[in-house]
Structure 1
Amino acid sequence: MKKGIKIIFWSLVAVNVIFFAVMRSGLFDTRQILTAQPELLADKIILLKESQSAANLAQSTPAITVPAEPVADVPTVAQADTMSCYEWGDFSGVELERASNALNKLQLGNKLTQRDTEHSIGFWVYIAPLKDKAAVAQKVAQLKARGVTEYFVVQEAGEWLDAISLGMFKTREAAQKFLEGLNAKDVRSAKVGERASKTKTTTFVMSGLDAAKNEKLLAMQKDFQGTELKRVACH
């Protein structure tokens, strides 16, 4: 028994001696197994701030350009010009007053102005002088019965005393057109003549009328025979 223990003891001693001898010989140098790394130079290390790191990263990263999508041209819709401008004339005497009252109903305000023109020679539609006041009164009654309410009995002494003026006009054409309207009302005794005296006529100028007022004006003009309503350029 004692002999066996001695054998084990000396065997362990021998193994330790052999292991120590091998390690001393350098056959198993672990420094040759690991790959050597270069020594870090502490004095060369600089800590970058967060903003500097981001800037360096941006410089080192190539910029990526995203092509912009073409923007389609948007057509500009011009607002339709619905405003109208007119000149309406010529008016004088009772017709001027009647037309002025009719236009006031449209409440045009500063959109309505008027232009006065003097004429040395004009034309009128008239009924020749009657023989006396009774004949004048009878003729006036006939005119009213036929729907003619605008007239003027000449009171001045002279060749035209007791004549009945039905309207003054700048041109013969306008007077003739007015006479045709009277004939349609069965007024047969009226005629067109030249009136050799200074007359003043008025033309109404209207600007910026909308569609509703435009329609009312066109309808209104039909009640004023012998006048001209023309559309003009707006300024």
Structure 2
Amino acid sequence: MKYLFWLFAFINIGLFGYFNRDVVLPKPAPTQQAEISPEKIKVLSQQQIDALSKKEQIVAEVKPLPVADVCFEWSVFSDANLANAQGELGKLSLQATIKEQPVLESKRFWVYRPPFKTTAEALKRAAEYKAQGITDVFVVQEPKWKNAISFGIFSDEQLAIHLQKELQAKGIKNVEKSLRNQGKSYSSLLLKNLTENEVAEIKKLKPNFPAAELKEVSCNAT
């Protein structure tokens, strides 16, 4: 009987606790929700939205990304102008690896108009050539050939001959073709992780280095 008494006592206590758990157990702390203040909500105008977009664009322009998985070879350079090319890259805060080129691979055939007496005259004539539909034209600024007009440089002599005849057929006089590289030692400059802006800046140096071409190459080959 004694055991039955305590058994019923425990059962009654358990039932009391179950049906009165809201009273016995502590209530969870109420979750505080953020209050919404309608007076603090601000509707942006289209002009303000456009301004935010411009700010994001400026940030993207300030931090240009390198061209992914692409390397560049700037070639060819003789011993005489290699140092000058490296100096120009230094001004752009760029460093390049020097690669020696075999003599046969470094041959370049140049189609050009010999130098004019003044830069103004050369620029005027170059504009006339462009008006005729000749797009690959620039005035050379390299000291030895300053104010000459370049029409193209080729590793294949037959392509140079073809261009020379084509220009002569258009009535352009004094178009000459010659072997641009006369020495025995030539080099290329290999560059990695260039941004699109840096590629554009190197291409602007073309008048100073007419025989040099910037081209994409395999990074594994560098």
TM-score (ref. length: structure 1): 0.37
TM-score (ref. length: structure 2): 0.38
The higher radius of gyration belongs to 1
